[in-house]
């Protein structure tokens, strides 16, 4: 219904808009927004990796979004470990436990923070997601993880024997036989 001067009434315009098909469905709009956000995360992580490859700090000494740190770790874990973010997390872990957390070790020499798992990457909490290990115990922890074919738990790592040989004698004998040493 048109008014006498040929214009539509407000109710008529609103009725036509409701009846018209939307330009984007809500599902498609959310899908596009998620894709746009993922592209922004990928671009930010790629830029951080490029900064690191140029010899600069990957995060520019600022804070990146959590998802960017996760993507940066996937692109290059060394770049993630070069961020100021990881430096802060590692310092917090070393303040929480300044020496190796392996019960029979306790060495403060070459102690460093290590991930228990990468599930909380970017939001690591000292004592929960990180553990302090000396260099020798870290090698034993990696070996234990390979033997178990999974990430060792905190309890398994704390119970490591730092005096035990890294490789058993049968593995060493097999390597000697294979390489003739």
Token code pair at residue 98? 């300044």
**Confidence band for 1, pLDDT divided at 50, 70 and 90:** low
The 10s digit of each residue's pLDDT in 69-112 is: 999 999 999 999 999 999 999 999 999 999 999 998 888 888 99
Tell whether the model's pLDDT for residue 2 goes beyond 90. no
- pLDDT, residue 42, reads 95
- pLDDT, residue 132, reads 94
- pLDDT, residue 16, reads 87
- pLDDT, residue 3, reads 61
Domain borders along the chain are 13-80, 83-181
pTM of the model: 0.74
Q: Please tell me the distance from the alpha carbon of residue 116 to that of residue 158, in angstroms, as a whole number.
A: 11
- DSSP characters over the chain: -B-TTSPBPHHHHHHHHHHSPPSS-HHHHHHHHHHHHHHHHHHHHHHHHHHHHTTS-TTTTS---HHHHHHHHHH-HHHHHTSHHHHHHHHHHHHH--S---TTT---TT-EEEES-STTTTS--TTTTEEEE-HHHHHHHHHHHHHHTSPPPHHHHHT--TTS-SS-HHHHHHHHHHHT-
The 10s digit of each residue's pLDDT in 13-63 is: 898 888 887 777 888 889 999 999 999 999 999 999 999 999 998 988 678
């Amino acid at each position: 219904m048109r008014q006498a001067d040929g214009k539509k009434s407000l109710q008529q315009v609103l009725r036509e808009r409701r009846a018209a098909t939307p330009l984007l469905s809500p599902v498609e709009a959310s899908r596009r927004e998620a894709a746009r956000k993922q592209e922004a995360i990928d671009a930010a992580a790629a830029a951080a990796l490029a900064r690191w490859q140029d010899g600069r700090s990957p995060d520019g000494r600022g804070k990146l979004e959590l998802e960017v740190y996760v993507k940066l770790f996937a692109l290059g874990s060394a770049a993630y470990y070069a961020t100021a973010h990881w430096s802060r997390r590692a310092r917090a872990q070393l303040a929480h436990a300044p020496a190796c957390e392996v019960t029979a070790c306790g060495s403060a020499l070459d102690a460093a923070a290590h991930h228990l798992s990468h599930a909380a990457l970017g939001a690591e909490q000292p004592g929960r997601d990180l553990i302090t290990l000396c260099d020798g115990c870290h090698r034993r922890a990696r070996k234990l993880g390979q033997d178990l074919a999974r990430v060792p738990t905190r309890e398994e790592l704390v119970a490591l024997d730092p005096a035990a040989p890294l490789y058993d004698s049968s593995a060493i004998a097999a390597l000697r036989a294979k390489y003739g040493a």
